[in-house]
Structure 1
Amino acid sequence: MIARLYTDIFDLAADIRTAPDQHGLVGAFGALIGRLGPYAYSIGTIHRTDLVQRHLIGTTYPDAWMTHYVTQHYHHIDPVIDPVRHGLHPYDWKDARITTPQQQTLLHEFGEMGFRSGHAVPLQVTTGTVMLVSIASTEQQIDTRQQMAIQLAASQFHYRYCQLGLDRPQVAGTVLSPRERECLSWAAQGRDTTEIGDILAISDNTIKFHLKNALRKLGCHNRVQAAVKATCMGLIHP
């Protein structure tokens, strides 16, 4: 059984290495992580010195959590995201330095969803930018063999990401209209279409039109993903 598992892992790692584009790359990575265990993941790039410069590549964290995360501005205080402290060495979430009550609250709320441990793999993309692959587990801990498999998957993702030239974000230079930014900002705060329409005094169809345009520009499949990406890129400030 173990031998078969690791054969599957190497086959899936090969799929990551030959992915044709970012969509296929994220899908291949997700397939491998799903084979390893009850895990969720988040992948993004972070500037070493300007932490506002963040680019979300992909995540399987629940949409409700991502909306809450952005609404509470947790992306500014998350102790797991600390490229300066950890450098380019993989680390467990338990090694994160918690210095404020807000950080403690963040981790407590994340744990309430059933996640009990995590493992992060930082990888250099450019001189000033790090890719962070972060894995959350419902298990008490992620054992050494699983960590090695996660690091393999992360390294193959990083290799193909850079090979495809994705270190230059596809959405660089993205310009959202004022209405698109407004709609996304309210969506990031958990408002639905009707609520946004009431706030902005425009119709549901108009809201949907602006959000659809924003999703297209950002290369996202749903408004939560778009709101999170736009926030991480500094396009909106909910």
Structure 2
Amino acid sequence: MTGYPSDFTSVKAHLGTAGSVNEALHLIQSVYRVDFTTYHLASTVVGNFDAPFVRTTYPDAWVSTYLLKGYVTIDPVAREGFLRQLPFDWRELEFASETLTFLEDAMRHGVGRFGFSIPISDKAGRRAILSFNSTTSAEDWNVLLDLHRSEWVDLAYLVHQMAVFELHGESDPIPALSPRERECLYWSGLGKDCKDIALILGLSHHTTRSYLKSARTKLGCGTVSAAATLALKLRLISI
């Protein structure tokens, strides 16, 4: 703990000076005395690449094993984390029979039995998870979780902001579309015209056109069809 802040206000201040998400995770891990922390952004678009952004303090051997064996496809924390909206204790999860080998392998690599994950969803529609893992006893884990649960939720969004900045700097390519703008683009992407969309959503033609125009402007596109295509690429909508 030497050299690290001991209260939540100081933790947040120190995160602001962290040079990377990786550095921030190590800071959080040390302050809260958990064994491992992981941040996982489901997907990001940088240039022509569309790939997840993951930073973790897990041992390199476990990270390599996880990737080589394709464990992300059966990892219950990853699966549930991108489906749920609220933070969850890993003990809430139901483990299917095919995950038993994965769990045994994880523990052989030093991964603890206890964990807590915070799903993150931002205004641009990005989904991410911040997870804490511990090898401590159940009793100590309960105490740790009771003490710091709300702080960890706040930290999750700070780490997410850091990740977005690390990826894009000041030029975040993903604008914050409103739910209605997303809906209108979704139906446009399915080939519906303004009249159809207005009827489907129960809106006036004028309101529908306004949503499509504002979405197109935010995305920097000359046409609605181009905006729908870009929104699909950026995962703002899915068809």
TM-score when normalising by structure 2:
0.55
1:115 aligns with 2:112: yes
**Counterpart contact for 1:126–1:167, Cα < 8 Å:** no
Question: What is the aligned partner in structure 2 of residue 197 from structure 1?
Answer: none
Task: Considering Cα pairs closer than 8 Å and 6+ residues apart, tell me whether 1 or 2 has the greater RCO.
Answer: 1
Question: What is the aligned partner in structure 2 of residue 12 from structure 1?
Answer: 11
Q: In the TM superposition, what whole-angstrom CA distance separates every residue of 1:80-116 from its partner, at most 9, and x where no partner exists?
A: 11257742211111122322x2212212222332512
Measure the CA separation in 1 of the matches of 2:122 and 2:113.
29
**Counterpart contact for 1:40–1:135, Cα < 8 Å:** yes
Measure the CA separation in 2 of the matches of 1:138 and 1:68.
19
- Quote the offset at 1:30 in angstroms: 1.9
Q: Secondary structure at the match of 1:34?
A: helix
- Quote the offset at 1:69 in angstroms: 1.1
- Quote the offset at 1:127 in angstroms: 5.1
Q: Secondary structure at the match of 1:150?
A: helix
* Cα-Cα RMSD: 3.0
Q: How does 1:153-192 map to 2 (within 5 A)?
A: 153-162=155-164, 164=165, 166=167
Q: How does 1:126-205 map to 2 (within 5 A)?
A: 128-139=125-136, 140=138, 141=141, 142-162=144-164, 164=165, 166=167
TM-score when normalising by structure 1:
0.56
Measure the CA separation in 1 of the matches of 2:25 and 2:82.
26
**Unaligned 5+ residue runs, structure 1?**
48-52, 173-238
Query: Greater CA radius of gyration, 1 or 2?
Result: 2
Q: How does 1:1-238 map to 2 (within 5 A)?
A: 6-7=6-7, 9-19=8-18, 23-46=19-42, 55-83=52-80, 86-99=83-96, 101-112=97-108, 113=110, 115-125=112-122, 128-139=125-136, 140=138, 141=141, 142-162=144-164, 164=165, 166=167
Identity of paired residues, percent? 21
Measure the CA separation in 2 of the matches of 1:117 and 1:95.
11
**Counterpart contact for 1:46–1:129, Cα < 8 Å:** yes
**Counterpart contact for 1:18–1:160, Cα < 8 Å:** no
Question: What is the aligned partner in structure 2 of residue 191 from structure 1?
Answer: none
Measure the CA separation in 2 of the matches of 1:122 and 1:66.
21
